[in-house]
Chains A and B, each alone.
Chain A
Amino acid sequence: MDNLYIVCVDDQRDVLSSLSGDLSPFEDLLMIEECESAREAWDVIESIDQSGDHLAIIITDQVMPEQSGVELLKQLIEDGRFLFTKKILLTGLATHQDTIEAINKTSLDRYIEKPWSSEELHTAIKSLLTGYLLDKGLDYEPYTKILDQQLLLNYLRKTT
């Protein structure tokens, strides 16, 4: 099966490591990448795309030097290759204006405030991952354990 990736972007090392610690229950089935800047994230995303793998979820901080989180997400949806990728903004410092822009211009899927609870994060990942697999028409069976059961059942109701 092709690999599914979660890419985490934050300029603070300790945030990244606590984030990937919280994501460790998903490590068996998903690949988790940590990036310290939007530029690094793009390198990772390009290499994921080139190897035929899938960028399922991107989790990004808003306030970062060089490119902000919202700009990164905007660039991502403009790209066209990542239309199905689910986008999470994980931030404590986004201004009102940033938030509006994130919702309106990047079709953001989740806005999670720092500090986050790992339960909230897990629920979000499960449901977004389910959405990604079903939207993209990928085989969901290998991932059943970590999917949102209710979403999956609703989808399977349409099975003929």
Chain B
Amino acid sequence: MNRSQSVKVIIASIVPIILLILPTTTLGIEGLTIIEHRVIAIFFFAAIFWILEPIPIYATSLLIIFFELIMVSNQGLKMLISSPDPTSLGTPLNYKDILFTFASPIIILFLGGFFLAMAATKYRLDQNLARVLLKPFGQQPKWVLLGIMIITAVFSMFMSNTATTAMMLSILAPVLSLFLPEDRGRMAFVLAIPFAANIGGIGTPIGTPPNAVALKYLTGESAISFGEWMLMALPFVLVLMAFCWILLLTIYPIKTPQISLDMKGTWIRNPKAYVVYGTFALTILLWLTDFVHGMNAYVVAMFPVAIFSAFNIINKNDLKNISWDVLWLVSGGIALGLALESSGLAQRMVDVIPFEALHPLIIIMVITVVAMLMANFMSNTATANLILPLVAALGVALSSLDTFGGSKMIILAVTISCSMGMALPISTPPNALAFATGSIETKHMAKPGVMIALVGMLLNYTLMYLLNLVGFFE
């Protein structure tokens, strides 16, 4: 750790530490317990560290879990969690619940997605599918662009947005040099990939980590199945993609008359590869047909994990390539939500702050716009980690929201907003990759990015309105 980094850590720590050492009564919240007080400090720590990123975002997640274990769990430091007056202390959290966040069903769902993606890449299923699927789009640039966008979006529903973008950009790279030098159409192609990956991620529960975080709060009556999620999200993805395609063609018209993506490769034909193809299809089928077989998405996620391990398709070495940082980032978010909920703090905040006085539509607007803005400047997952637990508590407590779809609606609306980070190279890893090709400058990305995010937000509200009409939230 060098000096400037240490300075950042110290600066970022000031507010949470002050919050922590202030006497509980000075916070001015009636009935606030010491445990709740500490959770507030942990929440501010998380918010500040995720926004300023003095340490990697997954490290912040791990620290959340660590601090919760030490300061607010029933196995924490004795002098911190024992008090002569148990009512002022509040109820400590069960340490097992905190540790279970590492293996929460949501984490397993993502692990299943990771196994699918790893096997697909290893057996070149992704590349071969892309090759076959791109063929029908011919050589006319605007259709090739559409083809690339559709394939990127579909892949990013099941693979990470980053891996999808990397694959599609490397397919595109040899073509970029064929563009006429003054043709701005090159930018349409380079931007289409990250935008389509960002939008496509909304399509399934495993498409992008914010969706996973949302699943944590969509329980009980508001639970949502894999198929229901896709039913809800796909129309949104389709319309926004169409808009994105037309927008890019308008802003960066393609002058090059013909584009041929010359992709070589053949399907791998050996028993292991067939197992991969079969398992891929089976898993998706099972995810979509839970109403037939009764296994929920989390259980189905174990199919690829079990099958690929058993056939040694994913071996010991491949396991090292799992993005534990992504999983732990989500775990930390779940742990933060758990602490807010179990300590009773979430409920208390909703009680103390007079949300009822505000019109529910204003609340929805403000929260979704804040989420969208945050997602443009920081990690989408960290945004979801911070906002969704508050939104979930609000959704349950605020009866005025019920006519608009209640907590399920607002959670989904916020989750979609978390994927509207499109405008800047720092907004998402796919954006950063496209930017790194050197074909575009920030302003070239910002102009269409902002427009897509704004139209996406309008579309988001429309979707929620329509879903409420058809009774999706009931």
Taken together as a complex, chains A and B put the C-alpha atoms of A149 and B113 apart, in Å, by 26
Given contacts A156-B162, A158-B321, contact A1 B2 (CB under 8 A): yes
Q: Which of A1, A150, A160 contacts B170 (CB 8 A)?
A: A150
B residues less than 8 Å from A145 (CB atoms): 436
Contact check, B433 vs A160: say whether CB atoms are below 8 A apart.
no
Q: Is the CB of B163 within 8 A of A149?
A: no
A158 and B162 alpha carbons, distance in the complex (Å):
9
CA–CA, A160 and B308, complex, Å: 15
Q: Is the interface of B mostly helix, strand, loop or mixed?
A: helix
B201 to chain A, nearest CB (A): 13
Which residues in window 287-311 of B have CB below 8 A to A? none
Chain B residues contacting A153 (CB-CB under 8 Å) are 166-167, 169-170, 173, 433
- The answer for the CA separation of A147 and B167 in the assembled complex, in Å, is 17
Within 8 Å of chain A (Cβ to Cβ): is B437?
A: yes
Taking CB as reference atom, which chain A residue is nearest B323?
Answer: A160
Contact B2 A160 (CB under 8 A): no
| Segment of B114-122, B144-152, B343-351 in the binding face | B114-122
In angstroms, how far is the closest chain B Cβ from the Cβ of A86?
21
User: What 0/1 pattern do residues 21 to 38 of A give for CB contact below 8 A with B?
Assistant: 000000000000000000
Q: Which residues of chain A in 124-160 are interfacial with respect to chain B, using CB atoms and an 8 Å cutoff?
A: 144-145, 147, 149-150, 152-160
Check B436 against A159 for contact (C-beta < 8 Å): no
Bound CA–CA A150/B433 (angstroms): 11
- In the assembled complex, the Cα of A152 lies from the Cα of B173 at a distance in Å of 12
Q: How far is the CA of A153 from the CA of B172 in the complex (A)?
A: 11
B121 lies within 8 A of A152 (CB): no
Q: Taking the nearest CB of chain B, how far is it from the CB of A13, in angstroms? A: 33
In the assembled complex, the CB of B82 is this many whole angstroms from the nearest CB of chain A, namely 42
Q: Are A149 and B436 in contact (CB under 8 A)?
A: yes
> B166 near A157 (CB under 8 angstroms)?
yes
B321 touches A157 (CB 8 A): no
Give the complex CA separation of A150 and B162 in angstroms. 14
The answer to whether the Cβ of B259 comes within 8 Å of any Cβ in the partner chain is no
Cβ contact within 8 Å between B117 and A160: yes
B-side contacts of A155, CB under 8 Å = 166
- Shortest beta-carbon distance from A25 to chain B in Å: 14
Report B139-177 residues with CB < 8 Å from chain A CB. 160, 162-163, 165-167, 169-170, 173
* B305 smallest CB distance to A (angstroms): 12
Contact B173 A157 (CB under 8 A): no
A153-B164 Cα distance, complex, nearest whole Å: 10
A159 touches B2 (CB 8 A): no
Complex Cα spacing A147 to B438, Å:
11
Tell me if B170 and A159 are in contact (CB < 8 A): no
Of listed B114, B169, B321, residue having the most chain A CB within 10 A:
B169
A147: chain B residues at CB < 8 Å are: 436
**Contact between A160 and B118, CB atoms less than 8 A apart:** yes
Nearest-CB distance from B417 to chain A (Å)? 24
Q: Using CB atoms, name the residue of chain A closest to B327.
A: A160
Chain A residues whose C-beta falls within 8 Å of the C-beta of B114 in the assembled complex: 160
Residues of A bordering B, CB below 8 Å: 1, 144-145, 147, 149-150, 152-160
Instruction: Please name 29 pairs of A and B residues whose Cβ atoms are closer than 8 Å in the assembled complex, sorted by A.
Output: A147-B436, A149-B436, A149-B437, A149-B438, A150-B170, A150-B173, A153-B169, A153-B170, A153-B433, A154-B170, A155-B166, A156-B162, A156-B163, A156-B165, A156-B166, A157-B126, A157-B163, A157-B167, A157-B170, A158-B163, A159-B160, A159-B163, A159-B166, A159-B323, A160-B117, A160-B160, A160-B163, A160-B321, A160-B323
